[in-house]
Structure 1
């Protein structure tokens, strides 16, 4: 299946049209001067055809730029474990770049791992201090790598589970009790799945590689590569999300669940955001793209709240607090952003941090989970579109 990015949500299509892989070799000798201020955040900012990977210290008012950042090709984003930061190239490449964090939290580039041409590595799942699974979206495989040596140790081939071709287009995944649950996107064009494809997940026993496919027709495709998240809550239940049909209409949208102790979809659970009235707005939304699970059943995201046609730069995504246990949605008192500026969300101490492109400024806005206070302008400004964010205590 062709696995170029989704036209309606992938910033790359709108900015780049078609783009070749940008070489990262120029970064090998790039050594940003360490900042004596402890760096608690690692970011990716998109500017035209480039992705800039850099850091900033904390949530005191400040301005960031990309002058000391590492430059890569468009499409890179972040995964971290301990002091290891991995940057897969995603839709437009075949490499994973490795950084370690220095004594002040500054990034130090230490290596690059190259997969097959247009492997499209992403969705990295760490299973220890020195191993991680990497979804190869363009190849229909899951690679097990040693994060210390940057060598491939094993591989899981999902091609037998593809529809109409040899690639089921693996998306996001989680690991629970020795099994990996991988969303299969089953793309048949740059931005659509094979007609009739619903929620489809491969359940893989990581010891035996025995694989079972579970399907649910109540939603459309779940776990879209780079445009969705899967997570496990404190009860041990797994959640996948479907944005519906092509991000245009709220049709077959919502959260599905796999209960603890089961490898089947929970037929008693479906949470349609598009059919739930948003507290503070008084109407329903349509869908979300990326999200952050903060614990105790709470998800933070930016929800498309207008019923107008999709527009890449329209400020129609509202930051919200979603309770997946009680099926409620609450508006946060934060300005609206566009679809591009709805990807970078994380938690730092008592704050949920949103990287957004708003009329009030581009950068990092905060919601204080203790006091409810929300910033109306970016606390930390950014150059470019905030697209990925990781926080370290």
Structure 2
């Protein structure tokens, strides 16, 4: 096994730490004892493909985060959170190859002071039903002070629709897709995630979070509906225990192995007790409704990213030929900040190899 493979691009070289699918991850022990992943899935990082800072009307001046990718025809549509002069608002970029992106500016607006998306309208997931695209996005009335305006609890799911991924998107304030519930695993966060139509119903793998005294615990839940314009029914038990400390989701079904793969970002904690998004994990299952915490692996972290050695955020995956593309946000260098993140691209060969097998 070669741990440090030198790949040359012209006159410069880039070091990749490539670990095989059957290789154990570097042993990590978190200061509060939260679970770690002991396996790795092979993933080759290509680096930054879209930098923050030059979006229209200063829409991503302070960062570009939480990439969500859709494809229609021969065009990829990337929704991403632009941290701009007015707050974190969803922006759109388009590409033919996932590498060269044309930024189109914001696609959502902030609501007025009476609305739950008064301070942020971000992280949208979309699914098409007949000729209509249904968008579920994160709204919150609370942020940190200017200029960064980082969204703060509660994180709520809100609804919009359009006949095109380019918009215009019409907000549906009369729809409350995922109402939070006190004393549940989604009491302070019930924000949207990946959606898939399974059998006769839609499933959404949403982010849930709860406060345990001063500690925030995070997981994923499954919400179900047969009507995208109504509230979803939320499973009473989360997909994973709150102790897993994960958020955001992107699913891929590998027809070759008849296996579901769930990609998510993990929240780590440093030696000073400060939390940050430290890695992208993957879980796998033959049954979309049943998952096992033992079936997980690290996909991308500071050891195999070629540019991010601190914070690595939300993943989004999409099939491209015989490979699976992974788009993600991260802070360049050693930074663990929420701000000044760009979008990177990594690749996995198909069919995906289940680590440890």
TM-score by length of 2: 0.49
Higher relative contact order (CA closer than 8 Å, sequence separation 6+) = 2
TM-score by length of 1: 0.45
